[in-house]
Homo-oligomer: A and B are copies of this chain.
Amino acid sequence: MTATVHPLRPEKPSLKPLMALVAPGLNAVNRVILERMQSPVALIPELAGHLIAGGGKRMRPMLTLGCAAALDYQGERHHKLAAAVEFIHTATLLHDDVVDGSDLRRGRATANTIWGNEASVLVGDFLFSRSFELMVEDGSLKVLKILSHASAVIAEGEVHQLTAQRVVETSEDSYLQIIQAKTAALFSAACQIAAVVSEQDDATEASVEAYGRNLGIAFQLVDDAIDYVSDAETMGKDIGDDFRDGKVTLPVILAYARGDEVARKFWQRAMTGRANGEAELQEAIERLHSTGAIADTMARARLYGSRAIDSLSRLPATAARAALIETVEFAIQRAY
Give residues in A with beta carbon < 8 Å to B.
39-44, 91-92, 95, 98-99, 117-119, 121-123, 125-126, 128-130, 132-133, 135-136, 139, 141, 144-145, 148-149, 151-152, 154-156, 158-160, 162-163
In addition to A41-B160, A122-B162, A130-B152, 14 A-B residue pairs with Cβ atoms within 8 Å of each other are: A41-B159, A43-B162, A95-B122, A98-B118, A99-B118, A118-B162, A122-B158, A123-B155, A125-B151, A126-B155, A126-B156, A129-B148, A129-B149, A141-B141
| Contact yes or no, B39 A123, CB < 8 A | no
- The 8 Å CB contact of A98, one of B117, B123, B163, is B117
Query: Which residue on B lies nearest to A163, using beta carbons?
Result: B43
The number of times this chain is found in the oligomer is 2
| Contact yes or no, A136 B141, CB < 8 A | yes
Contacts of A128 in B (CB 8 A): 125, 128, 151, 155
User: A76 → chain B, closest Cβ, in Å?
Assistant: 19
- Separation of A136 and B159 alpha carbons in the complex (Å): 23
Question: Can you name 6 A-B residue pairings with CB atoms under 8 Å?
Answer: A98-B118, A99-B121, A99-B122, A119-B162, A123-B159, A125-B151
| Contact yes or no, A149 B133, CB < 8 A | yes
- Separation of A121 and B135 alpha carbons in the complex (Å): 23
Contacts of A91 in B (CB 8 A): 125
- The 8 Å CB contact of A155, one of B117, B129, B148, B151, is B129
User: A126 → chain B, closest Cβ, in Å?
Assistant: 4
With A117-B117, A132-B151, A141-B141 already in contact, the answer to whether A159 and B95 are too (CB < 8 A) is no
Contacts of A44 in B (CB 8 A): 156, 159
- Separation of A158 and B39 alpha carbons in the complex (Å): 13
Contacts of A42 in B (CB 8 A): 163
- Separation of A119 and B156 alpha carbons in the complex (Å): 11
- Separation of A323 and B219 alpha carbons in the complex (Å): 56
- The 8 Å CB contact of A121, one of B39, B41, B98, B160, is B98
User: A144 → chain B, closest Cβ, in Å?
Assistant: 5
A98, A152, A159, A163: most-surrounded residue (chain B CB, <10 A): A159
With A121-B121, A136-B141, A151-B132 already in contact, the answer to whether A159 and B99 are too (CB < 8 A) is no
User: Top 10 nearest A-B pairs by Cβ distance?
Assistant: A129-B151, A126-B155, A129-B152, A132-B148, A125-B155, A99-B118, A41-B160, A122-B158, A133-B148, A136-B145
| Contact yes or no, B99 A163, CB < 8 A | no
